[in-house]
Amino acid sequence: MSAKSKAQRHVAAVAIKVKRLEMRITDVPTTMRDDVKSMMSMSEKQLTDFAGTKESDLPKKSKKNRR
């Protein structure tokens, strides 16, 4: 699976850092905290796939409206 936007890729990268205990969840900006928490249930391999997506063709944000 790959990221659909640069924002999703960035959230996945932060989730990897939290999962590896390189960063605390309290250090994550509050605007991203819920998204990072929801990605924590994913495996590290899945998060790496999201974070490793090339940014060249990705939009800044996804076109779908968020709930």
pLDDT in tens, 1-11: 677 788 888 89
Q: State the alpha helices, DSSP H only, in the chain.
A: 6-19, 30-39, 44-51
Q: How many CA atoms lie within 13 A of 14 on its CB side?
A: 22
- 30 within 8 A of 9, measured Cβ to Cβ: no
Tens digit of each residue's pLDDT (9 = 90 or more) over 54-66: 777 776 776 665 5
**pLDDT number for residue 21:** 93
**pLDDT number for residue 13:** 92
Higher pLDDT, 43 or 51: 43
Domain boundaries, the chain: 6-51
The whole-chain average pLDDT of the chain stands at 85
Model-level pTM?
0.78
